[in-house]
């Protein structure tokens, strides 16, 4: 039986509106695949007995996964066109029915889709998108030649402890 894979990259920088975020994980997945690589009843546990809503999600999830050949094509594309490394992991088969496909994730604040297949340089024979969430990444500070004032109100006792520990050199 063929093996299926999930793929992801860690982008060193990702721009979202006016902000840049560092080390953003992008989970890659295939969209608009008409037929699964492996018949559903072989790759989804309890396929015929699960509730329809779970079966539909499991079907979409399975179609989002990559074959080894697709994985290698994506890896080459990402390296050549985006200078991104790609990691992957084998998906244990059969998958359980209560899975949520990347395509059905909510676009919450800080998350979104990177529609790789819409870029001018895209040439793969299948469509790929990526889901990311910047909550788990670092915001990059972009210099703007302006004076920046950072202020924070701390309790007097905590402020004194921090001042003594970190600024007077007594621990060095």
Where along the chain do its domains lie?
5-167
pLDDT computed for residue 32 by the predictor: 94
pTM: 0.76
Which of these ranges, 12-26, 38-52, 115-129, has the smallest mean pLDDT? Answer: 12-26
Least confident of 18-22, 28-32, 151-155: 151-155
**SS in 3 state form for the chain?**
CCCCEEEEEEEEEEEECCEEEEEEEEEEEEECCCCCCCCHHHHECCCCCCCHHHHHHHHHHHHHCECHHHHHHHHHHHHHHHCCCCEEEECCCCECCCCCCHHHCCCCCCEEEECHHHCCCCCCCCEEEEEEEHHHCEECCCCCCCCCCCCCCCCHHHHHHHHHHHHCCCCC
Report pLDDT digits (tens) over 73-101: 999 999 999 999 999 999 999 988 778 88
Q: Between residues 145 and 21, which one has the greater pLDDT?
A: 21
Query: What integer pLDDT is reported at residue 142 of this predicted model?
Result: 56
């Amino acid at each position: 039986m063929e093996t299926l894979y999930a793929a992801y990259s860690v982008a060193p920088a990702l721009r979202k509106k006016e902000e840049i975020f560092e080390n953003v994980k992008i989970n890659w997945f295939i969209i608009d695949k008409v037929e699964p690589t492996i018949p559903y009843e072989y790759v989804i546990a309890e396929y015929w007995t699960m509730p329809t809503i779970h079966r539909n999600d499991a079907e979409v999830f399975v179609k989002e996964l990559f074959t080894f050949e697709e994985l290698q094509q994506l890896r080459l594309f990402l390296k050549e066109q985006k200078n991104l490394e790609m990691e992957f992991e084998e998906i244990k088969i059969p998958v359980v029915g209560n899975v949520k496909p990347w395509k059905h994730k909510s676009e919450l604040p800080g998350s979104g889709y990177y529609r790789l297949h819409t870029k001018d340089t895209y040439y793969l024979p299948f469509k790929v998108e990526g889901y990311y969430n910047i909550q788990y990444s670092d915001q990059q500070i972009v210099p703007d030649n302006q004076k920046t004032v950072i202020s924070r109100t701390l309790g007097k006792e905590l402020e004194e402890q921090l001042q003594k520990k970190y600024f007077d050199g007594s621990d060095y």
